[in-house]
Each structure stands twice: as structure tokens, then as C-alpha cells.
Structure 1
Amino acid sequence: MATSHAAVWQRATVLDTTALTDDIRRIVLAPDHPATVDAGAHIDVRVPIGGVPDRRSYSVVDDGPDGRSLAISVLDSPRSRGGARAMHALRPGDTIEITQPIVDFPLRVGAAHYVLLAGGIGITAVMGMARVLRSVRADYTLVYAGRSRPALAYLEQLQSAHGDRLRLHISDEDTPLDVTELVGGVEPGTELYLCGPIRLMDAVRRAWIERELPYPDLRFETFGNSGWFAPEDFVVRIPRIGAEVTVRATETMLEALEAAEVDLMFDCRKGECGLCEVRVLDLDGDIDHRDVFYSERQKDSRGAMCCCVSRAVAPPGGTAVVTIDIS
């Protein structure tokens, strides 16, 4: 097993929890070992689910002086695998285990222009970037898309801080985001930072490539649990080691294989690095590719998948079975 984030755990005390919307709760934590937080940072949290600690990642929205406290915001959605419900149940005085802030989604200061694009809870990953860009007087636009105004966390705060640099796209107000129009209006020298669901990420990436914009100028972070289909149970078979494992709708393939003591390589757990790739030998059903590692052409293939986020989808009237080989 491999992970680059394994040696930085510490205890943190819950200072405050506040409901921001019907589904999103802000949680303020005081870590035992404070550290300053850079824009784009996240923490990993050990969340007790059914009495068993599991690992979840949450973007750091903001931090207090010298990093003595930090805030995350957690969405509890119907697709939650249990971590969000456990986080929403936290109360002041509770203690949890967290990592030091980790920056896998860094902001590079110095570009000519910036677009920060957030889909729903993805706003938590780019709010800190917007603060930095405002403080250095950069040329930036903050685009915030969601289904309804009451579902948009931090909306009033963002309107106050960023004024006309904030652009809202709200589906139930008939102002949905047009990705082609957005990317079509990107000026040369622009860096676009994006956090949101996989559909938004795929659409932006396709439009970016079609415009032949420099790919290094498109930077993104994914939720890791958003897909094209609702999660469902499926079966994984590994003939080489004689293993057969059922993956429940509430867990990832990687988690199920770990629980069965199958040794796998992995790192990000968010479908970004490709280290957890497994080779698909046979498939009864289809693959719901939830990663951002593969190209569009690779996602059309049924020959491999990132087991940390991607899932199998059942054929009509049946249960999906995916037969894989591992490195």
C-alpha cells in the first residue's frame, strides 16, 4: 500500500458548527499542532462510520490567526457514503483526527488573468484563492454555479468581498452555466481553476481542448464521489489471487478491496493521480468513470479503471461484475 499523506495525523477539537444551508454545515476545528493554511489546501479526516474509522478529504475554507483554527464545510447529500452524516453529527468539544493542511491544488500567483469556477460545494476549494487574488489585486473572475440560491453556501460573504467579480449561474433562476460560452470568453494568458462535479469538469476540459488552450493553464480538483450514475452494489473478481468482493453502494472499490486485505497501490483517493489503476479483464455491465486522470478517449475504453473512485454499473435486470487484475 502507498500513500503520500500517511504520516501527518493529529487530533483536533471541534470549536463550532453552523448550518450554512439545508445540506451544508461549517465546522471549525482547533488542531493540536497549528499550521498556516495556503489557498487550495485540504485536510484528511478520520471519520467513524459504523464504528470503523474511514478517511475523507475536505477543503479548508479559511483559517484563524497562525492557523490556530481552520474551517471546513461539509455537504450531506443522498450520495454520501456516511462520512458527511458523521461530520454533521459533530458538536463543540468533540475531538477527531485530521492531517496537517495538504496542498494538492495550489494557486500560482502571477498569471495575466484568472477564472475561478465552482460547482456547488466546490466553492470551498476556491474561496481561499479568491481572497489571495483580491489581496494582490489580480485580474480575476469568480464563477459560482448551483441549482438554487438557498443552496449556495457563503453567498452573501462572497458578494460582499468580490462585488462584480462574482458571477452567479443558478439553474432554477434560468441562468445555468454555459460552459462553451465561458471557455470561449477566456482571454490568452488566463489560468482556470475548477472544483465541481464530474459532469462540469468533463465539459470544461472538452471545451478547453477544443479551443486549443494551453492544458497546463487548466487546473482542477474533483469531489471524488460524483459520477454519471447513482452508486449501486457490484462484484469485483480477481482470478489471479482467487478473490471475489462485493462493493457496496456506500463504499468505493478501493475501500472494499482494502477491507478484504487485497494489497493495492494508491495515493490521492480522488481519481486524479492514476496510481490505483486496475486492468479490466472482463465486465458484465459498464464502467462509471469518475476520475479526472484519463483522457476522453481512454474513458471510452472498458480496459482499465481507477478503483479509488470509479464504479461498475449493472446491466438491465442484473448485478454488475467486473473482473480485474492488479499490479
Structure 2
Amino acid sequence: MLNHHLVLERKETVAEGVVLLTLRDPEGRPLPEWEPGAHVDLVLREDLVRQYSLCGDPEDRSRLQLAVLREPESRGGSSHVHDVLAEGDSVHIRGPRNHFALERAKRYLFIAGGIGITPILPMLRAADASGADWQLVYGGRTRASMAFAEFLQQTYGKRVSIRPQDEYGLLDLPSLLGKPQRKTAVYCCGPEPLLAAVEAACEKWPSDALHVERFAPKERLAAGPRTTFEVELAQSGQTLKVSEDMSILEAVEGAGISVMTSCEEGICGTCETSVLSGQIDHRDSVLNDEERAAGDTMMICVSRAKSDRLVLDL
């Protein structure tokens, strides 16, 4: 995993409220391999870490590219990128990691909302190179706010449908998803209302057809009851008590054990930890149903225990 200082070579505006960052190694060394759907942690300060999808070309090991939307209610990350970060600055990166990998399929339907186009971009290149049949439906507030829209239409033509809301209204999901399609993988990234609507529209599709990535925790996911339980750390031999008002991550860090962490909201996958025994109360927005059912990994920043005790590989 890359844990390195890169240089911001270029910062350019690519749509209203969206800047594209191009990062390179200061010594010209090749950057790590990554696959479509991957993201990195951008460490802006020690107390300010944000996750952004890689939107460049995985074949180009000389640079990494991230597109960052200025969030109206920014908690500091996007405003720092837009207002403080300048070309020539040193930028600390962690990753890449990938919980939104592009699986092999005969046909793909890509649905992007706003800045959710970023992880989709390299997927389109890969799908096109594989010879698969594919379609992109890309929605946004206005055409001017939709990054890469012109590039996509020029590059891929009729495979791409650009649907700004002020011209077309909301995306017509019933016509796109109303009838399940065989051997078709659906990939969706964007704001939570879009993801929730796509999930609802795909209820009759095969369970493994839909793949989503969230920029915010899934609503009501962490609203279940909170109980006290024990966590045994297999590597260190410690047993910790996790109280109702404490996360497993807080308990582990309180015991002096360092764990890689980032969002602490269950959306980035940084704190994913192997579970050796016990029943998990999954409250993350990363794992799919199959991974949850396996019961061998969890995000310790938000997920809890259904059993009285968990044994973690820490």
C-alpha cells in the first residue's frame, strides 16, 4: 500500500465546483498499480483525511488523478482542496484500496450522479477494452456542473446519455431498471437519494447484479440497539470491554494498539479487520450481502457484536 508524499503537478477546474488533481512522485518513480473503482486517502492534515476515487487511467503509472467537488456543507476537506491546495504542494496519499471493483460481465449498465462519475470513468475504459456491451446514464444538476460530460460524449458517443436535471428531470430509473436483464452488472455511484432509488428499482434483479459505492453512510444503518460486549485481540492477547457508548475502534486505540483508520463512518474500508470468531452486527456501507454473511471481516469503526464476544485478528 502506498503511504507516500506526492506532488500536486496540476490543479484544473473541469466543471462548476469540481477540480481535477494530477499527482506525481517527486522523484519520477512509478506509482502503484490500481484497478477501476479504487480510491485513496488524501491526508490534508493529520486531523483532515478524505477519500477520493481515482479517475485516471490505471495503465498510466506516472500519475494519479482525483476529481473533487466543493461540498456546500464541507466539513473541511473539499474546501481545503479548492481553497488551500496549490500546484507544487506536497500531498500525502494512503492507498489505493478497492471495495468497488469491476467484475467481469457480458453487459454493464453504469449509472452516475454528479461527482459519482469519478470511479465510473476508468470502468468505462475497461469495459470498452474488454469488448463488453455497456451503457452509461449520467445525471447531474446542470450540464455545466457535470465533470467530463463533453469528453464522455466525444469519446463514446451513443453509449453515453447525459441527463442534467434542469433539462430532463430525474433519471428515468423505471425504464432503465424495471425489467431485470440477464448477464448484466449494474454499477452506480452518486448521492444517497440516487443510490436508494437504484437499490429499490433493482429489488427484482439477481442479488449479485447491483454494485454501489457511497460517499456518505447509508441512512439508518447505525440506528440499531447498542449493547456492551467483549473483544479479544488474538495477536496481542488482550481482552477489551466495549461499552454501549464506545466503538470497537475506540476501545482498541484506547488499549494502545494502532489501527489504520480514516472516515470512521463505515464508508471507506480502511479499518477492515479480520474476525476469527463471534457474530458481527454489520453497520458499515462497504460490504455486500455475501461478504456480511461470510462473517470473517468487519469495519470496526461502526460495526458491533451480536454475540457477547468477538475475537479479532489484532
Q: Same fold (TM over 0.5)?
A: yes
The 1:141/1:186 distance shift into structure 2, 3 A limit, reads farther
Equivalent positions of 1:62-211 (< 5 A) are 62-63=56-57, 66-88=60-82, 89-109=84-104, 111-209=105-203, 211=204
Compute the displacement of 1:112 (Å): 2.0
Unaligned runs of 5+ in 1: 1-6, 229-235, 246-252, 280-288, 296-305, 311-324
Number of the residue aligned with 2:32: 35
Distance in 1, matches of 2:202 and 2:248, equals 31
The 1:326/1:78 distance shift into structure 2, 3 A limit, reads farther
Deviations 1:126-184 (A, max 9, x none): 01011111222210001101111111001110011111111122211133212222211
Number of the residue aligned with 1:320: none
Counterpart AA for 2:267: G
Number of the residue aligned with 1:219: 211
* Range that drifts further, 35-44 or 14-23: 35-44
Number of the residue aligned with 1:46: 43
Q: 2:54 touches 2:119 (CA, 8 Å); kept in 1?
A: yes
- Identity of matched residues, %: 28
Number of the residue aligned with 1:283: none
Compute the displacement of 1:123 (Å): 0.1
Counterpart AA for 2:85: L
Q: 1:16 touches 1:28 (CA, 8 Å); kept in 2?
A: yes
The 1:186/1:114 distance shift into structure 2, 3 A limit, reads farther
Number of the residue aligned with 1:271: 267
The 1:241/1:132 distance shift into structure 2, 3 A limit, reads closer
Report the aligned-residue RMSD.
3.9
Distance in 2, matches of 1:97 and 1:194, equals 28
Distance in 1, matches of 2:74 and 2:8, equals 21
Distance in 2, matches of 1:123 and 1:185, equals 24
Counterpart AA for 1:37: W
Compute the displacement of 1:53 (Å): 3.5
Compute the displacement of 1:10 (Å): 0.9
Instruction: Return the TM-score normalized by structure 1.
Output: 0.68
The 1:116/1:33 distance shift into structure 2, 3 A limit, reads same
Unaligned runs of 5+ in 2: 221-225, 229-240, 274-278, 290-298
The 1:177/1:326 distance shift into structure 2, 3 A limit, reads farther
Q: 1:278 touches 1:307 (CA, 8 Å); kept in 2?
A: no
Distance in 2, matches of 1:76 and 1:254, equals 32
Distance in 1, matches of 2:95 and 2:258, equals 24
Counterpart AA for 2:181: E
The 1:151/1:265 distance shift into structure 2, 3 A limit, reads same
Aligned length in residues: 270
Distance in 2, matches of 1:290 and 1:79, equals 23
Q: 1:113 touches 1:187 (CA, 8 Å); kept in 2?
A: no
Q: 1:264 touches 1:326 (CA, 8 Å); kept in 2?
A: no
